[in-house]
Amino acid sequence: MNVLVTGITGFIGSILATKLVEQGDDVYGLVRHSSERELKRIEKIVPKIHLIEGDLVRFHDYHSTIPIHTSESILMER
């Protein structure tokens, strides 16, 4: 399944993305300008996921992500 995870470098998003990769899903992660500490949370799965830089607060970033990615699920961390 194609899955878009927003907040993929956050605590919950990183755990969720890892589980999705383990079960064989094709994971796309939306990231803002993340710190090195946050990126460490997903360093083991980076080769297996697709990272998209952007911010959902900025409409242009969200709108430009949609043509690239067609997902069956969108999971958002608050």
Domain containing residue 23: 2-76
Q: pTM (2 decimals)? A: 0.74
Number of domains in the chain: 1
CA–CA separation, 42 and 9 (whole Å): 6
Supply the CATH number for residue 48's domain.
3.40.50.720
Q: Which of 11, 46, 53 has the alpha carbon at shortest distance from 27?
A: 46
> Three-state SS for 21?
helix
> Three-state SS for 9?
coil
What pLDDT, in 10s, does the model give residues 7-64?
A: 899 999 999 999 999 999 999 888 887 677 888 999 999 999 998 887 777 766 666 6
**Which H or E element spans position 62?**
helix 59-68
What pLDDT, in 10s, does the model give residues 64-73?
A: 665 555 656 6
